Chains A and B, each alone.
Chain A
């Protein structure tokens, strides 16, 4: 046993003089870093700021008596994720489970339909006590903004990608124009457009909620990237597939819906998950236009007089929250990618 460990050490850490040097150098740095970090975490850091404000971080100022509504929302989302995941995972064995096979065509509509449902639970109305969007803060707002934006930008992105690859000259150029302008702009600029300029472009009577404007900005932004991802999938479909479908007498819209899109979208799932991770991180920019999502919440907590200067604690905790979501999704996406290749 000991011998195996020794050969492992030799092979992986000390197989040449410069590797040995590197190993020792790295070890020194790591030990130094860990010692300082552990010391800081235990002795210097004051974690009350996190402890006291935990509900604020997670759900913001959502009224405590209505937490049950958030639990239902969480339930719905978990359910959707589990279903979606199981659909993609079971495709490994090409013959799918019958039950899951039945679910596939309902997947996208269910996601779309659950959006208003979730909004109802969160916002109230129609029998539920209404809760102002000003009270939707923290992590839940971060997740909500990311999910809603990606769900809306998904169909829009597909349309835009179809336009981008269309052989209709004007449609193609409109699509290219939109995609390239949006992709050329920083997100903060687009959020600015949505917050400040959108009201200027709309009739005066139409006053959009700050949250809606935030979603509008994210959707404007995300649609362009979605379109580029989907286009990658569309281009990976050989022309012969389209010819074969046409030769069977299918009209062009059906060729796209029945033959091209199912294959193209499957090919770009990992890219879309990647885009979602990006979007989740990008929601942090909403804090710069006045929305109190996770990053915004951390800033307002840092403004509490008793916790002034506890930057490191707060940012590390919030960073960890983001990291858990992003990292687990990137793991999932990698697993999907492997599955799609096999």
Chain B
């Protein structure tokens, strides 16, 4: 700024550099100390860092696979099978929870007292209890107490319930998969319902009145006027709910559905490779997060543009 130079320690640029330098040094120190500890601890345990174990024989069985898999396959194959199982439940979950969530959210604003309050009770129950507990409930209290295969309960012959899971139009879903899917769907949907309700309510009352004054039917006003505006408010928090669902799918381990986390955890138990396995898990979920964020950003972009 000026040509007279103040002493170094009174120049704020100097401090900015010093503080950042200190942060970097601290970070490096911490990493080095932790790394040294890790090295020493691993040596004591007789474990060597490295990803070679991925080529070894997994020698454990996986209950549910889409890819063909045998215990003689490698860990890589096992993890891949787990990854696909994760994706399967996450994608199906996101799809279902969107439907249930939007339905419940709109029901919260219904002019039918009964519908409104059923939705309210649903939202308040599912939002305010732990997902893990809900999963246990679905799995142990619901699925395990269903009739066994010979005496399936069925709804209109389309969906059949039994201890062996759900049979829908000839497709068979294991009780573990069904539990996880239902659990994730209904838990996440209770949050989405509130987001949808908030989004719709955020649209100014004048918009309804303007729609009505044009002679539009309520359903049309909802579809043409209110929802497009509500989406602007809905999409960003919806993204974080999808992310939550994807991350929560890791609770599969609690009920024995072989998702990526479950398989990775088994891998760790057999090989003791904690750091490597954790890095793989981190990589997987960060990739999930990035993909979902990317797709939702695209959606958000189109939704926001509609405004102008």
Contacts and interface: CB of A to CB of B under 8 A. Distances in A.
Given A30-B118, A181-B286, A284-B130, A193 B278 contact: yes
Contacts of A39: none
Contact of A287 (B34, B41, B132): B132
Contacts of A15: 111
B210 interface: no
Contact of B112 (A13, A192, A193, A298): A13
A315 B41 contact: no
B306 interface: no
A313 to B, nearest CB: 9
Per DSSP, are chain A's interface residues mostly helix, strand or loop, or mixed? helix
A169 interface: yes
Contact of B124 (A30, A183, A200, A327): A327
A27 interface: yes
A181 B282 contact: yes
A200 B42 contact: yes
Interface string A305-322: 000000110011011001
A323 interface: yes
A247 to B, nearest CB: 17
A168 B37 contact: no
Given A202-B37, A327-B124, A186 B136 contact: no
A19 interface: yes
Contact of A277 (B128, B247, B285, B290): B128
Contact of A196 (B118, B124, B274, B285): B274
B281 interface: yes
A279 B101 CA distance: 22
A288 interface: yes
A45 to B, nearest CB: 11
Contact of A204 (B40, B133, B281): B40
B112 A322 contact: no
Contacts of A288: 132, 253-254
A330 B249 CA distance: 25
Per DSSP, are chain B's interface residues mostly helix, strand or loop, or mixed? helix
A171 B19 contact: yes
B20 interface: yes
Given A184-B286, A186-B250, A319-B137, A200 B38 contact: yes
A288 B255 CA distance: 11
B128 A12 contact: no
Interface size grouping (class) on chain B: 35 or more
B149 interface: no
B112 to A, nearest CB: 5
B220 interface: no
Contacts of B281: 185, 189, 192
A105 interface: no
B130 A201 contact: no
Question: Among B38, B118, B133, B243, which residue has the most Cβ atoms of chain A within 10 A?
Answer: B133
B275 A200 contact: yes
Given A12-B111, A188-B251, A311-B144, A327 B285 contact: no
Contacts of A201: 34, 37-38, 41
Contacts of A187: 247
Given A13-B113, A311-B144, A189 B278 contact: yes
A199 interface: yes
Contact of B133 (A171, A197, A284): A284
B141 A186 contact: no
B115 A188 contact: no
B24 interface: yes
The 9 nearest A-B residue pairs measured at CB:
A326-B128, A12-B113, A284-B130, A311-B140, A186-B250, A186-B247, A312-B141, A281-B130, A311-B141
22 contacts: A13-B112, A170-B23, A170-B24, A181-B286, A184-B247, A184-B285, A184-B288, A188-B251, A189-B281, A193-B278, A197-B278, A281-B128, A287-B132, A288-B253, A295-B133, A295-B136, A302-B140, A312-B137, A315-B141, A319-B133, A323-B128, A326-B128
Given A295-B133, A326-B129, 8 more contacts: A13-B112, A22-B112, A168-B20, A184-B247, A184-B282, A186-B247, A204-B41, A319-B137
